[in-house]
Amino acid sequence: MRSIVLALLVAAAPCAIAQEKAPAVRPEVGKPLQAAIDALKAKRGREALSRAREAQEVPNKTPYETYLVTRVLGQAAAAAGDAATAGAALESAANSSAAPQADRPQLLAVAAAQYYAAKEYSKAAAAAELAERARIAREGTDATIRRAGELMLTLYGSASTLSRALTVVKVSSRIKICALTSPSLVCEPSK
């Protein structure tokens, strides 16, 4: 699981950075950061963590440099097996003003997984909730309804079984989830 999470983060990092015109990173920050990324690609987690901490010690970093260092620190900590540090770093990176909004849900979801691995369940739940809110803010409510429908269809196995078990009703800007109970329809407004 840890290698899958790490692969997703390492693969997404260049894509997110390439999409926007990224601010320049000073060499004193960039060199240890690049060494950490190279160590991550070579699956040397402890070395990557050491290099990321070197970059973290550079004084007077810009917000963008701080974001990158914190993100790589989280990835390196996850690779090194330090789930608590990884969760805290990735959550901090997601909440950075320099973090691309498109990356926030993924960073928070991975932070939640790391907190869970560290048995910090309350932090895991809080990060997971933030990840879902960030995803909804980015994708919108209709995408959330579609995703819920797809998940329920997977769970129930067929559209006819699902339609008997659950109905989603959109009323104005509020969403109600209604469960079919014989012989009536019981609805609870979502929060």
Per-residue pLDDT tens for 136-161?
A: 777 776 666 666 666 655 665 655 55
Instruction: Judge if 76 and 25 occupy the same domain.
Output: yes
Residue 190 has pLDDT above 80, yes or no: no
Spatial distance between the Cα atoms of 103 and 6, rounded to a whole number of angstroms: 15
In a shared domain, residues 182 and 103:
no
Which of 50, 60, 61, 134 shows the shortest CA–CA distance to 85? 50
Q: Give the least confident one: 86-100, 137-151, 172-186.
A: 172-186
115 and 162 in a single domain? The answer is no
Q: How far is CA 4 from the centre of its chain?
A: 13
Domain that residue 17 falls in: 2-139
Q: What is the mean pLDDT of the chain?
A: 77
Same domain, 111 and 147: no
Asked whether residue 35 falls in the same domain as residue 71, the answer is yes
One domain, residues 7 and 51: yes
